[in-house]
């Protein structure tokens, strides 16, 4: 699953982005990748490992909801959209 969010631009500053996606690894686990920053610039990347897909998906949904509360808007989603 992949979710891309942005904030509206403020003044002459570019919008901020927040990108979440789940990656399955080779040992049957899941990694939640979070990337954030200003549009057009390098972002910060954080990774969190989960043994079960259900827990990884739950963490992704919680991260999405937290960013929506901070003013981000979902621009693009791909994959499983439960939650």
Question: What's the average model confidence in pLDDT over 49-78?
Answer: 96
Residue 71 falls inside a structural domain: yes
For 69, other C-beta atoms within 10 Å of its C-beta total 8
Residue 40 falls inside a structural domain: yes
- Give buried/exposed letters for 32-52 (b at 16+ CB in 10 A, else e): bebbbeeeeeeeeeeeeebee
pTM of structure: 0.88
The enclosing domain of 48 has a CATH number of: 2.20.140.10
CA–CA dist 29, 2 (Å, integer): 17
Which structural domain range is residue 27 located in?
2-78
Residue 83 falls inside a structural domain: no
Residue 47 falls inside a structural domain: yes
Give residue 33's pLDDT band: very low, low, confident or very high (50, 70, 90): very high
The predicted-structure confidence for 55-67, as pLDDT tens digits, reads as follows 999 999 999 999 9
């Amino acid at each position: 699953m992949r979710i891309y969010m942005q904030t509206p631009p403020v003044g002459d500053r570019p919008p901020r982005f927040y990108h979440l996606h789940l990656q399955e690894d080779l040992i049957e686990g899941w990694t939640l990748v979070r990337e954030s920053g200003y549009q057009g610039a390098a972002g910060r990347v954080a990774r969190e490992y989960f043994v079960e897909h259900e827990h990884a998906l739950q963490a992704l949904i919680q991260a999405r909801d937290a960013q929506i509360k901070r003013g981000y808007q979902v621009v693009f989603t791909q994959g499983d959209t439960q939650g």
